[in-house]
Structures are given as structure tokens and as C-alpha cells.
Amino acid sequence: MHRLKFSGWRDIASAFADAIVACDEIPPVQVVTWVPLARRRLAERGYDQARALAVGLGHRTGLPVARLLRRARSTGPQARRGGAERRAAMRGSFEVTRAVPESIVLVDDVLTTGATAGACAEALATAGARRIHLVTAARAFHDPVPTLRVPHGRAYPRTGPRPGLWLPGEPPR
């Protein structure tokens, strides 16, 4: 993941997309979107790793891929922040760029505390999305397992060998 994010190894995104599809965790949705990278980071890296994962996922599943979110403001690097700091920094930091369908797969590279995914899910839900499924290529385990709080309930990250989320009452696999 580090090489995808920081070393320009864009081709790794297709391998991650293959692994996600192989897990058979992609629910029937209307569109795939991604957590957008901040403009400054995009200029530094030359590409958005979450977008690369989303495009790979869309290509492999036949689902349309669309940019639905943009950063409303810069939040700075999150890597050295704890969960509470991340959640505070991410609140209101994403805006919807167009009309959103009811069911969406939201793609990100790494799930750490869930603050970024939660902020994106909140923006999408406020704009009308009813089912938002988070798919990540990796999960950071140095923090406690987060609970993503979204306007219409909760979603819990799956922390087993398969990426994705499970819903309350569904046993983690």
C-alpha cells in the first residue's frame, strides 16, 4: 500500500482491485466512487490512489465509476493524528459534486479510524444516498476497530481477511 500511495506504483491498484473482486464482497449498487485526494496531494503524487482502485473495481465489475465527492477544505496529513483528532478534522471536509444515486460503493485505500470514510458517507447520505458500502484495499490495525457513524445508522468495518463492511446483526466473517 505504501508503494501505491507514495512511490507511484499505480499498477498495484489493479492487483488490489482483483483481490477485492475475488472476495466477492461487492454488493449490487448503482455506482462506484472514491474518497478524493486533496488537491495538493494530487499535485505532489500525480494521481489519486483511491480513484485508481475505484476505476479498477468498476472495470472488473462492470459498474459505472463517477466522481461524486470533492474536498471542501484541506485537512492536512492524518497519519499522526488519533481517532478523535481525525474525526474533528474530517467533519464537513467533503462536498457532493453532483446528484447521487441511492446505492454506492465508496472506495478508499486504507481504513484506519474510519474518520475519512465517515465524513464521506455523511456527505453522500445527506445528498440522498441510502446504501453506502465502503470497500478498502487495506486496514490499519494500530488503532482500535472503529465504528463508522453515519446519519442513517452504523456500519462496522470487517477486520477479517476480506475487505468491506458488515452491518449490525450480521456476523463478521
Q: Rounded to whole angstroms, how far apart are CA atoms 54 and 13?
A: 9
Check residue 150 and give its pLDDT.
54
The one-character DSSP state at 36 is: P
In tens, the pLDDT along 106-161 reads 988 878 777 888 889 989 999 999 999 888 876 665 545 555 555 555 454 444 44
Better-scored residue on pLDDT, 169 or 94: 94
pTM of structure: 0.69
Q: DSSP letters along 49-113, please? A: HHHHHHHHHHHHHT--B---EEESS-----TT--HHHHHHHHTT-EEE-S---SEEEEEEEEESS
Q: According to the model, what pLDDT value does residue 24 have? A: 61
Average pLDDT for residues 157-172, to the nearest whole number? Answer: 45
Residue pLDDT, tens place only, 49-77: 889 888 888 888 889 999 999 988 776 66
Q: What is the CATH number of the domain that holds 6?
A: 3.40.50.2020
171 within domain boundaries: no
172 within a domain of the structure (yes/no): no
> What is the Cα–Cα distance from 65 to 48, expressed in whole angstroms?
14
Give the DSSP H/E element, type plus range, for residue 133: strand 131-139
173, pLDDT greater than 60? no
Instruction: Tell whether 15 is covered by a domain.
Output: yes
Per-residue model confidence as pLDDT tens digits over 4-52: 454 555 565 566 666 666 666 677 889 999 999 888 877 777 778 889 8
Beta bridge partners of 14: none
Average the pLDDT over 92-118 and give the result: 87
In a domain, residue 173? The reply is: no
Residues of the domain holding 135? 2-74+83-166
Q: What is the mean pLDDT of residues 88-92?
A: 74
Question: Domains in the chain: how many in total?
Answer: 1
Per-residue confidence band for 91, with pLDDT thresholds at 50, 70 and 90 = confident
Whole-number Å distance between alpha carbons of 156 and 168: 7
